[in-house]
Structure 1
Amino acid sequence: MLIYMDPATVAALPSSLSAKRFERYQKTWPSRDDVAIRHYVWNIELSSTYWGPICILEVALRNAVHDAMRAGRRDDWWNETQLAEYEAGSLKRTIDKIFYKTGTEPGADDVVAATSFGFWVGMLSGGVPRHPVYNYETKFWQSRLHRAFPGITINDRKWLHGELVHIQTFRNRVAHHEPISHFKHDVMMSRITGVLGAISPGLSDYVTEAERVTAAVGRKRAALSSGDCLL
């Protein structure tokens, strides 16, 4: 078995972190800065293993929602759809950003690829309940979006949206290099594979077989005791 350089021996590591960031780990390991820095690096290792499952989920989700929304009409369906404030604002910022970079109006594929995960999660919310225009439950979900999720029933939108909100919050922690070691990772992976199963059982099965999260969690003891951390 390969043994990797102990991050606790790298003097530059603690000083390269902000005091506030490192303090979170020091509080967990008082008077053991060696274990605190190992914990920090192991948290990086663990975070990196989530990107594969999250990537597949994000891409599958946006394409499933996009395909359902454009079925039978224009690819840039948002130009003939009234969206609530959050989704409308998110979409406008995306289009403006692309236009600023390229100087040309973006095509539908460009917009879909650049729009945030939060936008697609928002499309599966209830919108503005009982609003005559912005009630997403009746306007989007019941009319077309439920078809993007053949693995669940038309009555499962709230469950789906709730799971996605949890995943989005967690994903943002990973993206901002926040501590995630305290999460219940079997639960988080179950959320990810559960949503994938709603889109396609094959995707869920693949992520379940190929994920590295479980192995990284199992390496925590070795990482913190000896510094055998991977990046």
Structure 2
Amino acid sequence: MQAEATRGLLDRDYQSSPGLQGLTVHSGDSVNTGEWPTWAERSLSGARLQTYATAAGGRSAAIRLYWWNIEVSAAFYGPLHCLEVALRNALHGALMHRFGRPDWWSIAPLDADGARLVSDAQTKCGRRINHRPATADDVVAELSFGFWVKLLSRRYDRTFWVPALHRAFPRGSGRRDDLHRQFTTMMLLRNRISHHEPIHHRRLEADHATLFRLLDLLNADLSAEARQLDRVPTVLKQRQDTCAGLRTPQF
């Protein structure tokens, strides 16, 4: 059930963006004819770029869209970093208080998958840190974004959410299932960026709004600081000029 819900979120967020309309297609620059530049064919691969050509309407525009995709991915990295670290520290703090120990996972009712992820994290810490025993903070830092997001799922409603995790959101959280859905959306965005996949198809303005809405719930002061440094809105506004060849992207 949860896997189907995650796939549904991915399908919804991967729908075509209106920002692709109006891209400039040069004469003779069709989607399937001509050759890619040698450097692009050799190192980026024509097969990879072809998806951009289909979206942009031509090969010249495809390369510009490719660069813009990297630029906007880089812009999202900082706010997503803040969100992931803030979430894991907030949930860790709430569960540490609930179970009365920093290694709360040792006695908490994690499901088999959660217990496996903790065990894997402990093993990785042991390999990486050979001059001292791994601490709870080491394990927390090693656990994936997906681990923390899953703690907000229905599976843990009675064991974690009701007695503890709702307190991790001092400004209120609303419905747990809505919160879980929104964090899952952010996890999918983060994973696409981390794996160098296209995100230009997504509703990026909505993603940006969701990200800062969640960050506000976790820590309004951190959210305000992140907004001062955030360049996602600027990059989104520059999409058309970048894809039309009127500006050079930076990343």
1:42 alignment partner in structure 2:
68
Amino acid at match of 2:203: K
- What's the CA shift for 1:105? 4.4
Quote the offset at 1:202 in angstroms.
2.0
The Cα shift of 1:71 comes to 1.2
Q: CA deviation at 1:100?
A: 2.7
- One-letter amino acid matched to 1:91: V
Q: Name 2:162's counterpart in structure 1.
A: 142
Q: Tell me, what secondary structure is at the counterpart of 1:69?
A: helix
Query: Cα deviations across residues 85-107 of structure 1 (Å, max 9, x unaligned)?
Result: 22112111111122233346421
Corresponding residue for 1:130?
none
Gaps of 5+ in 2: 1-35
Partner Cα separation in structure 2 for residue 186 and residue 125 of structure 1: 25
Q: Distance in 2 between matches of 1:228 and 1:83?
A: 49
> Partner amino acid for 2:63?
I
Q: Residue 214 of structure 1 corresponds to which residue in structure 2?
A: 233
Q: Distance in 2 between matches of 1:85 and 1:206?
A: 38
CA distance, structure 2, for counterparts of residue 111 and residue 10 of structure 1: 45
Residues 1:151 and 2:171 aligned together: yes
1:18 lines up with 2:45 in the alignment: yes
AA matched with 2:222: L
- Structure 1: tracts of 5 or more residues without a match: 1-8, 128-135
Q: Which moved more, 1:44-53 or 1:92-101?
A: 92-101
Shift of 1:205: 2.8
Q: 2:77 aligns with which of 30, 51, 55?
A: 51
Give the TM-score, by structure 2 length. 0.79
Q: Secondary structure at the match of 1:89?
A: helix
Give a deviation string over 1:86-145, Cα, whole Å, max 9, x none: 211211111112223334642101001111000110111111xxxxxxxx1111111111
Query: Deviation of residue 229 (structure 1)?
Result: 1.4
**Judging changes above 3 Å, is the alpha-carbon distance between structure 1 residues 14 and 37 closer, same or farther for their aligned structure 2 residues?**
farther
The offset of 1:149, in angstroms, is: 0.6
| Percent of pairs with identical residues | 34
- State how many pairs are aligned: 213
Which letter maps to 1:118?
G
Structure 2 residue aligned with 1:124, among 129, 152, 167? 152
- Superposed CA RMSD in Å reads 1.9
Partners of 1:53 and 1:192 within 8 A in 2 = yes
* Separation in 2, partners of 1:90, 1:180: 27
Secondary structure of the 2:244 match is helix
**C-alpha displacement of 1:172:** 0.5
Moved over 4 A (4+): none
Aligned residue runs from structure 1 range 128-207, under 5 A:
136-153=156-173, 156-207=175-226
